[in-house]
Structure 1
């Protein structure tokens, strides 16, 4: 069992927003007494919440480690701005990098911490690490593409493996702009069952994130689009292929055998980051921390708190 946690709301000043804003944060362990560098876990989406990453909190069960979770701005329990739906000039990568910097500084850990970013969170933290921030010690990029071109290519490959009638329904609604229909969502669920989380029934901590995002899809819809494989937002142009070589800290790369983040989307990270290690979980898709929890915790505990060898 992970130790008890504390919750806080971190004030976040956002240019162009004339109301008080905050980032919700949950901390397992004690940042003041931890003997090891704290770990910050950064969730995916964009627009999801931290809930589905909570198995990682078990790292703090030794009483010497602190694990920090937060809900990114616009999602989860943080400030929402549904009035900004569709505003691609507002929902940009830099907003979330600024928020991350605000979180670590508010918590007083900016001089020494490690990060695990999952999916979009891994993309975001890859960019953060490429700027070589002073306090970053180690980085895990979990189930994240090095570029969205590669992501779309991988998604198209996986979609082609679905039954033809499912493919036809997905294309029909994407062409018609009716991706909010129940038929589209039902067809989409087969892809998610195979390549996002294979545990059945869907764990409550995963379902909670999907429910919150369904209630306010502003960030996900604006930046990404209606689904994991139909990318219509500005993230379609996102890439770290050129900048990955700037990541100087030891980096762990993670994906699952059935992952929508196929080997082809992870490989450029591995090829370019000077100090990197890559592990693929054989019985997992996009959430090996859910699908192979015990092994996952063993791997990341050794990486973050043990000796690193390339």
Structure 2
């Protein structure tokens, strides 16, 4: 699967990936290879490091786009969830009572039960509402209820709600929906295998403020960053310090996506070995290079999320190039 032939110019020249080196007492202990790309809303690759066409699963960074049917069907309006409900539908949250309560509100207003959620019950928890994807699942169910679609099979790839997600994503990418490759994510819902440049293109659309539903989603996430992840979590703390200018959503296995609001620019990051610490270090490195966050904000964020033991440091080598 590739970007449309008219898009993605400049992606054929080989560029080295970024390297994140973990040093202990000045000696290199581990090295992570990282690919990153910046796209505009037209899909043009503006800057990159490594392979822009690197293919991998977008994982939970897909969530803002999985929320599109929730809005377009009228389900979000029907359950009167407001921006908080939209934010939790895009969240990989911490499972706190506050997070669970927002997911429950969607179900309650849609006259659904928590036991209809098909995300797992986390270890040590008592309800699927505490799962980090419960908001997404609640939005799926509310959409099914509004559209009179089956609620017991909502995670199957051929279910109407999942087909609608694929249709909307394919539309944003300029691809036929049947070209998308899906696989089961850890919460049971489908996720998509995409090129890194395609992920960046999706986030360029998310930040462009030219499509009403995407603008509503980005506004909700930025208004309630604490619901998108949680206190001390990277996405939450970054959006707080960006003062409404940068949207952030990560995914498992080294996926991190960013969007510059109003500029129509998207960034996608993939760490080959899936390291969380490496993706966060690279995100901070690129935010500094792109000048998307103030120096003081970057310093505060680094101190809060890159928690390393004494004598241990992370160094990012390389830069985005056009």
Q: Shorter-normalised TM-score: what interval?
A: under 0.3
Select the structure that is richer in strand: 2
- Compare relative contact order (CA 8 Å, sep 6+) and give the higher one, 1 or 2: 2
What TM-score, normalized by structure 1, do the two folds share?
Answer: 0.27
What TM-score, normalized by structure 2, do the two folds share?
Answer: 0.26
